């Protein structure tokens, strides 16, 4: 099966103008499975010109017609879910079941924004004079530059493409070099759905060069980025000169508070299985576990038991529950975090090494650490790895103090049967999203995003489309 491996510019599939390519590596085998173009400045200029021209007509298309077109994209993604999932597993490593669920979640984004296209509301304001009619309208902001990461290459790109299309914007997407073909599959769905040429463009290659070129262009009116804090800071600097609005969904180190009145067995099992989804390479993954002292031993024993039972292997194997990490960088970074914690006194309750049963591939054992302290890197940095550190707390105030002690504020989680605790903890956690008694937050209809160094702006929900529009006030003398 051949997946798209050319850039999609102005409605056509195209190689780099100089023919340069980069290798796409299968993280389970470390073998090159395909190539993708390395865009040149000329390629980017062509994408910019196409996006600029297409926007001036796409923004004039009525909302019902845009809505129908976006809905067709959703239908085509669902129809091709199995093929797109296989493409994702080949280049990103996650188990096929997880990949397919992600593809369907990506389709949900297009479905949701097909509806939101018809709900971009303005308002009429009563002014000081009956001779004046005051209107506020929302209009398409213009061509968008979007940068999406490798951990969810279908879903996170869809969170940007779908609202852009729905609001009448054109878009240039730069997917991560590790998993570009999955995003190119979305471009194929847009093409087959009849989205006009130039409205959606996907370019591949050198991230820093592409971001500098696109952010500096006066054609780009908005930038949206999902990724790490350091790269997000650089994107903000690049956009400052042009005064471009930016949506930032950055890193997280997300706390889980487990209170003594929770269903301990369920909390431990749910937490362990959710922690190792996509090998912990999830921006809203449960990252730091704080368990009330009275039940810490019981919770940890069950957590370790579930962790040891997880089957690791090639994502194409239907028995696999945990695949490889996405690249060698993540493998090395994971081991460095574990070694730092161990050197500072943490106990490795299970795992803690590169998986010995695999001769090739970026496999690291699902790992549980106990006796962790706030001075350990894994408690302060975004971990993005299959390592679960477990600490303890005494009471609610202590739990909130520890949970809020990092620069991040993306997601947080609470396990309790006490309604008062659930409300007070949810309100006291410094995070953009909170889950109570579960760890699955992402869905198309909710506003996704964080606070503090985890970024600003929201993707998803009715709030998401607002960032792709500008507000215009009209004062009409009659």
Whole-angstrom distance, CA of residue 138 vs CA of residue 120: 7
d(CA 379, CA 332): 18
DSSP 8-state assignment for residue 459: B
Q: Indicate which residue of 185, 190, 215, 283 is catalytic.
A: 283
Q: Which of 249, 260, 365, 381 is catalytic?
A: 249
Cβ within 8 Å of residue 396, ≥6 positions away: 259, 421, 424, 425, 428
Let me know: does 250 contact 454? Beta carbons within 8 Å.
Answer: yes
Structure tokens at 95: 């188990």
CB within 8 Å of 159: residues ≥ 6 apart: 109, 226, 448, 459, 460, 464
Q: To which residue do tokens 């996006």 refer?
A: 51
Token pair, residue 473, equals: 């006030």
Verify whether residue 283 is a known catalytic residue.
yes
Helix (H, G, I), strand (E, B) or coil at 211: helix
Q: Where are the beta strands (DSSP E) in 176-294?
A: 200-202, 222-226, 246-249, 254-258, 286-292
C-alpha to C-alpha distances, 150 to 70, 135, 136, 181, 226, nearest whole angstrom? 23, 42, 39, 11, 10
Within 80-206, where are the H helices? 81-92, 96-116, 155-167, 180-192
What 3-state class would DSSP assign to 60? coil
Query: In terms of Cα–Cα distance, which of 332, 207, 225, 227 is closest to 283?
Result: 227
- 357 among known catalytic residues: no
From CA 272, how far away is CA 286, in angstroms rounded? Answer: 9
Task: Tell me which residue of 206, 140, 201 sits closest to 169, measured CA to CA.
Answer: 140
Neighbours of 31 (CB within 10 A): 12
Listed residue (476, 468, 475, 474) closest to 139, CA to CA: 468
Catalytic center residues:
249, 283
């Amino acid at each position: 099966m051949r997946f798209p491996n050319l850039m999609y510019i102005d409605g056509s599939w195209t190689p780099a103008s100089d023919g340069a390519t980069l290798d796409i590596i299968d993280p389970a085998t470390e073998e090159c499975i395909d190539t993708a173009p390395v865009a040149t400045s000329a390629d980017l200029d062509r994408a910019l010109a196409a996006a600029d021209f297409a926007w001036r007509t796409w923004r004039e298309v009525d909302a019902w017609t845009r809505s129908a077109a976006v809905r067709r994209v959703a239908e085509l993604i669902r129809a091709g879910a199995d093929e797109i999932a296989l493409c994702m597993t080949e280049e990103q490593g996650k188990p096929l079941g997880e990949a397919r669920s992600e593809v369907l979640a990506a389709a949900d984004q297009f479905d949701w924004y097909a509806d939101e296209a018809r709900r971009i509301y303005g308002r009429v304001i009563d002014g000081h004079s009956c001779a004046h009619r005051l209107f506020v309208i929302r209009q398409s902001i213009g061509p968008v530059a979007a940068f999406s990461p490798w951990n969810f290459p279908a879903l996170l790109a869809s969170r940007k493409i779908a609202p852009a299309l729905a609001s009448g914007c054109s878009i240039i997407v730069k997917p991560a070099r590790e998993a570009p073909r999955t995003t190119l599959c979305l471009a194929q769905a847009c093409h087959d759905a009849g989205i006009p040429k130039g409205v959606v463009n996907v370019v591949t290659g050198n991230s820093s060069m592409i971001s500098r070129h696109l952010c500096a262009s006066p054609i780009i009116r908005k930038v949206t980025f999902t990724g790490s804090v350091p790269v997000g800071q650089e994107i903000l600097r690049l956009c400052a000169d042009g005064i471009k609005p930016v949506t930032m969904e950055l890193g997280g180190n997300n706390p889980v508070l487990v209170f003594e009145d929770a269903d301990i067995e369920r909390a431990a099992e749910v937490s362990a299985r959710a922690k190792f989804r996509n090998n912990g390479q999830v921006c809203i993954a449960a990252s730091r576990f704080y368990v009330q002292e009275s039940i810490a031993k019981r919770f940890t024993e069950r957590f370790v038991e579930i962790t040891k039972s997880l089957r690791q292997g090639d994502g194409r194997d239907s028995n696999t529950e945990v695949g490889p990490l996405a690249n060698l960088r993540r493998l090395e970074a994971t081991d460095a975090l574990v070694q730092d914690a161990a050197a500072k006194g943490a106990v490795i309750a299970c795992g803690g090494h590169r998986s010995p049963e695999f001769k090739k591939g970026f496999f690291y054992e699902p790992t549980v650490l106990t006796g962790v302290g706030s001075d350990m890197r894994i408690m302060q940095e975004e971990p993005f790895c299959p390592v679960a550190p477990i600490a303890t707390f005494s009471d609610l105030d202590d739990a909130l103090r520890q949970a809020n002690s990092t620069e991040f504020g993306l997601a947080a989680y609470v396990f309790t049967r006490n309604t008062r605790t659930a409300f007070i903890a949810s309100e006291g956690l410094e995070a953009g999203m909170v889950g109570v008694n579960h760890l699955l937050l992402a869905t198309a209809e909710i506003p996704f995003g964080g606070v503090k160094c985890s970024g600003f702006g929201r993707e998803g929900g009715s709030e998401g489309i607002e960032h792709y529009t500008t507000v215009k006030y009209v004062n009409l003398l009659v």
